[in-house]
Amino acid sequence: MDVTQRNIAVLISGRGSNLQAIIDATRDGHLDARIALVVSNRADADGLTRAQEAGIATLVRDHKAYATRDAYEAVLVEDLKARDVRLVCLAGFMRLLGATFVDAFQYRILNIHPALLPAFAGLHAQRQALEHGVKVSGATVHFVDTNLDAGPIVLQAAVPVLDTDTEDTLSARILEQEHRIYPEAIQRILDGRWTIEGRRVVFRN
């Protein structure tokens, strides 16, 4: 297979612990992918350092430098296509994506969300879960469409919510699962043995 078929990009805005999990998985053989580019909309994102330490190309694209969302997304699309990126992995990328980006990479954009979607979409999902009083929460990898945290679900993992939990302790328990399922989901999507049936992502063995 053409190696560029396994080119992925990771888009970040901050800490980059999921990026790190993806980097580690490519190194230890759990993920057969090549991270062609890491893009951040913030120059001070810690994840940029993680990428640089791993010898991965990085790019800062500050959304504030563009007049419109469309203009920003058109540049991102060019950046990614220029590097033959086949799958875009959002990992704490704090920008909503519109049609300009999503249409260019249909069913080629994944996101990780710290709740069991469709519960608790949007910001502070762990806090939302605690405040709602659910006894189980978790992590979701899903395809990205133009609606917030709403595309077809690829993988989920559940964790218990304990009576003693704070936002920090619950976030840490969920993050452990994020780091496990995101590389796995990327691998399974790159493998290509799946179809979309309605809203369902159906894997073939």
Q: Report, as residue numbers or ranges, the catalytic residues.
A: 113
Kindly give, in sequence order, each residue whose CB lies less than 8 Å from that of residue 43, ignoring residues fewer than 6 positions away.
Answer: 60, 62
Binders in 40-79 for ligand GRF, by CB under 6 A: 47
Query: Where does the chain have alpha helices with state H?
Result: 17-28, 46-53, 69-82, 99-104, 125-132, 167-191
Q: How far is the CB of 117 from ligand GRF (least distance, A)?
A: 11
Tokens 């995101």 found at: 182
Which span (69-77, 80-88, 111-119, 162-170) binds ligand GRF, by CB under 6 A?
A: 111-119
Contact pick of 8, 11, 16, 33 for ligand GRF (by CB under 6 A): 16
Whichever of 3 and 123 has its CB closer to ligand GRF, that residue is: 123
Whichever of 17 and 169 has its CB closer to ligand GRF, that residue is: 17
Tokens 């297979």 found at: 1
Whichever of 141 and 204 has its CB closer to ligand GRF, that residue is: 141
Please choose, from the candidates 45, 24, 17, the residue with its C-alpha nearest in 3D space to the C-alpha of residue 172.
17
Rounded distance, CA 178 to CA 110, Å?
13
Under the binding rule (CB under 6 A), the answer on residue 181 touching ligand GRF is: no
Contact pick of 7, 18, 26, 58 for ligand GRF (by CB under 6 A): 18
| 34-40 vs 7-12, strand pairing mode | parallel
Under the binding rule (CB under 6 A), the answer on residue 112 touching ligand GRF is: yes
Under the binding rule (CB under 6 A), the answer on residue 173 touching ligand GRF is: no
| 136-143 vs 153-160, strand pairing mode | antiparallel
Q: Would you tell me how many other CB atoms lie within 10 Å of the CB of residue 172?
A: 13
Under the binding rule (CB under 6 A), the answer on residue 86 touching ligand GRF is: no
Q: Would you tell me the crossing angle of helices 167-191 and 17-28 to the nearest 10 degrees?
A: 40
Q: Which residue is nearest to ligand GRF (CB)?
A: 92
Under the binding rule (CB under 6 A), the answer on residue 165 touching ligand GRF is: no
Under the binding rule (CB under 6 A), the answer on residue 92 touching ligand GRF is: yes
Would you tell me which residues interact with ligand GRF (CB under 6 A)?
A: 12, 14-18, 47, 91-92, 112-114, 175, 178
